[in-house]
Amino acid sequence: MRSKPISEYTDEELISNEKKLKILTVMLGVSITLLFLASMALMLKKGFSPIMIIPICLFPLVVVNIINWQNLKKEKQRRNLQ
């Protein structure tokens, strides 16, 4: 199932999706930061492990979410929604 473009969202959908994406992006960013710090602490204790690459691999998800969040905010501003 394909999602519809942002410009076709109703006002309620736009506000709801922007709030959800904001919360999820912040939560993902915090959890990846904590995972990165934990892997750094483990690296100092036990040396390098391939599992330490996971936070680096997950970082593009945060970037994509931030870009989508900004697009939703721009559409909200374009429609003069609060």
Residue extents of the structural domains in the chain: 11-77
pTM of the model: 0.84
Q: Where are the alpha helices (DSSP H) in 1-82?
A: 11-46, 54-78
In whole angstroms, give the CA distance from residue 69 to residue 54: 23
Taking the chain (82 residues) in runs of 10, the rounded mean pLDDT of each run is 82 93 96 94 90 91 96 93 80
- Backbone angles phi and psi of 79, in degrees to 5: -90, 0
Long-range contacts of 50-59 (CB under 8 A, 24+ apart): 58/28, 58/32, 59/32
